[in-house]
A = this chain, B = another copy of it.
């Protein structure tokens, strides 16, 4: 299954008639990396997202959220108790938020 992030990137890129190689060159990585990212074979590095968003004229926060969702999914995807673990993690996240 492809990643949310990758699918969105491809969508944005093709809508703007950008070639993989053009996007790659602006991001300063090899074309193959973007190809893999869009297909969900690889994760982009978090630090590359802001520049990517800029190139694609996209909302950084949207891309960061999709990227993060992919990271979460990667961790739980084959786990039997994914849902239970998500709930436990969720509680902790919101506990932390309250504290602030």
Would you call B73 and A75 a contact (CB within 8 A)? no
**Chain B nearest Cβ from A73, distance in angstroms:** 5
Among A74-100, those with CB < 8 Å from B are 75-77, 79-86, 88-90, 92-94, 96
Option from B1, B69, B79, B85 in Cβ contact (under 8 Å) with A85: B69
Report chain B residues within 8 Å CB of A84: 65, 69
Given contacts A66-B88, A89-B69, A93-B82, contact A75 B75 (CB under 8 A): yes
Q: What residues of B have a CB within 8 angstroms of the CB of A64 in the complex?
A: 79-81
- Please tell me the size bucket of the interface on A: 20 to 34
Q: Are the CB atoms of B85 and A65 closer together than 8 Å?
A: yes
Q: A89–B86 Cα gap in the complex (Å)?
A: 9
B96 touches A76 (CB 8 A): no
Closest to A73 in B: B89
Given contacts A1-B96, A83-B93, A93-B83, contact A88 B69 (CB under 8 A): yes
